[in-house]
Amino acid sequence: MQKYKPVKEGKVREIYDVGDSLILVATDRISAFDVILKNDVTDKGAILTQMSAFWFDYTKDVIPNHLLSTDVADMPEFFQNDRFAGRSSLCKKLTMLPVECIVRGYITGSGWAAYQKDGTVCGISLPEGLKESARLPQPIYTPSTKAEIGDHDENISYEKTIEILEDLYPGKGEYYAKALRDKTLELYSKCADYALSRGIIIADTKFEFGLDEEGQLVLGDEMLTPDSSRFWPLEGYEEGKSQPSYDKQFVRDWLKANPDSDYHLPQDVIDRTAEKYKEAYEKLTGEEFARE
């Protein structure tokens, strides 16, 4: 049997190269305040894998995506076991575009901080008088690019995305930049409206796109999981204050109350967090989560 080593080990995911395709493996690791906790959250990787798969299917008429299968039977033998089952996505290998496509429907986090200073978010002027966590009059596209060193991405203007893409694809920069922006806004609107109808606010999110061998734009990476987005419970939502995280609030609250924990959490905090991931999945898909 051919053995594989990850070509990349991220904080939470592992990436394997299997020729024409990639296998993205979502582990049960969880980060909070940019640190990986010592505990794993049971089934988190599988739940987020199935959640991405749900959204890819839900938006396949908006844009083609990279997902080929989440069934390990479709993957090399090495992956056909419990370590990978349920948490692995076989994906078409793409040439990724170096733009992180961020869209914000609500004002929070770094956007809220910037708005309080000068009324803008990532260079976009917003109406006066918005309160913290307010829904924006319309969603805004605030692209960024991965920083060379360190892990803080750099916000860039829409015009800068044209420049970056024009350098890579002469004559097509504006075409790709516009497509990224339009598809990002369309995907967000469709999915955030749907999630809202199921009791979950998607405050903001990030998409990544790539090109297939024909130069067609394809949606890649993970999609609309709580790891790539801010999910808030609709119940109790109120402008004028920060909102609890749908999935990580128990973890954050406990870490704040226990600054000397060294990121090792009690099992009941972890169990309640695991329940939140399951609940988000079940609300969004209308299906019970079942371990494969």
Ligand X SMILES: Nc1ncnc2c1ncn2[C@@H]1O[C@H](COP(=O)(O)OP(=O)(O)O)[C@@H](O)[C@H]1O
Q: Which residues lie near ligand X (CB under 6 A)? A: 8, 10, 13, 15, 22, 66, 91-94, 96, 208, 210, 220-221
Nearest to 185 by CA among 98, 62, 51, 280: 62
Output 94 or 187, the one with its CB closest to ligand X. Answer: 94
Asked if 274 and 41 count as a contact pair (C-beta separation under 8 A), the reply is yes
Amino acid letter, residue 241: K
Output 28 or 132, the one with its CB closest to ligand X. Answer: 28
Output 114 or 177, the one with its CB closest to ligand X. Answer: 177
Question: What minimum distance in Å lies between the beta carbon of 260 and ligand X?
Answer: 29
Q: What φ, ψ does residue 187 adopt, rounded to 5°?
A: -60, -45
Output 13 or 44, the one with its CB closest to ligand X. Answer: 13
Question: What minimum distance in Å lies between the beta carbon of 210 and ligand X?
Answer: 5
Question: What minimum distance in Å lies between the beta carbon of 69 and ligand X?
Answer: 13
Distance CA 175, CA 173 (A): 5
Question: What minimum distance in Å lies between the beta carbon of 10 and ligand X?
Answer: 2
Output 65 or 142, the one with its CB closest to ligand X. Answer: 65
Question: What minimum distance in Å lies between the beta carbon of 20 and ligand X?
Answer: 10
Question: What minimum distance in Å lies between the beta carbon of 13 and ligand X?
Answer: 4
Question: What minimum distance in Å lies between the beta carbon of 179 and ligand X?
Answer: 17
Asked if 42 and 28 count as a contact pair (C-beta separation under 8 A), the reply is yes
Output 70 or 243, the one with its CB closest to ligand X. Answer: 70
Output 97 or 270, the one with its CB closest to ligand X. Answer: 97
The region that residue 33 occupies, defined by phi over 0 for left and psi between -120 and 50 for alpha, beta otherwise, is left
Place of tokens 């000068």: 118
Asked if 195 and 201 count as a contact pair (C-beta separation under 8 A), the reply is yes
Output 86 or 220, the one with its CB closest to ligand X. Answer: 220
100 to each of 20, 119, 156, 161, how far by Cα in Å?
Answer: 23, 23, 10, 10
Residue number with the smallest Cβ distance to ligand X: 10
Question: What minimum distance in Å lies between the beta carbon of 100 and ligand X?
Answer: 9
